[in-house]
Amino acid sequence: MRYKGFVKNVIKDALLKILIIFVNRLILLYIPKKLNLINIMKRHMAILSLLLLTTFVFGQSKSSFNPTKPNDIMVAVINNPNATAYDFASQLSLNKSNTSLFSYDFYKTRDLIKKRFTVNRVFNINEYTKFYNRASSVYSKLPNDASDFNNKFPDEVIYSPFDVTRPKGSKTFDVDVEYMNKKR
């Protein structure tokens, strides 16, 4: 089951190659052997149109999994249910340029989601919806990229009072020293 998509793509590619070879041979049979410029152009035009047609026919569907970003916010929220957007951005360096959020229906077909939200062989749609909405909310609060971090979470960032580069009026942590007076 794990390699189902891989095998499907290999079979699809093999059929595509066989189809291209078959049509190429048909084109060569019907074009005269005398090679002049018009016949060569006809053959190349036929091959080009065949390639365009097969690209549209065998193109990737919307349901295929083709991640372009290395992180997935739904997986992060499932593994860290109590974390906030600030936690994901500061500790895991997640932002919108390196993190994706797929559609609501996309995740329902994934094994991780099925295992996480299935109890007694019944998929718990309410729990799944709650987690997806939380992931969507967290994703909307993530910064666009690493440079946008301080702009996105101005109240969350706590600076040292000795930091001369901190923004004016930003929060600082307490550096007061408390002495304990022990009575003997």
The tokens 């916010």 sit on which residue? 73
Please count the other Cβ atoms lying within 10 Å of the Cβ belonging to residue 22: 11
**Same-domain pairing of 11 and 82:** no
- Domain coverage including residue 44: 4-57
What is the average pLDDT across 15-20? 75
Q: What is the C-alpha separation between 134 and 131, in angstroms, rounded? A: 5
Same domain, 151 and 90: yes
Examine the domain organization and report whether 46 and 95 are in the same domain: no
Residues near 88 by Cβ (< 8 Å), separated by ≥ 6? 73, 76, 80, 94, 138, 142
Q: Same domain for 86 and 151?
A: yes
Do both 134 and 90 map to the same domain?
yes
Q: What is the pLDDT of residue 127?
A: 92
Residue 172's H or E segment, with its range, is: strand 171-172
Same domain (yes/no): 31, 80: no
| 172: CB partners within 8 A, 6+ apart | 158, 159, 160, 161, 163, 166
- 75 and 49 in a single domain? The answer is no
**Per the structure, how many domains does the chain have?**
2
Task: Determine the pLDDT at residue 75.
Answer: 87
- Do 117 and 48 sit in the same domain of this protein? no
Q: Residues of the chain with pLDDT > 70: what percent? A: 67
* Final residue of a structural domain among 34, 57, 80: 57
Tokens, residue 135: 């992931």
Residues 53 and 29 in one domain: yes
User: When comparing pLDDT for 159 and 79, which is higher?
Assistant: 79
* Confidence (pTM): 0.51
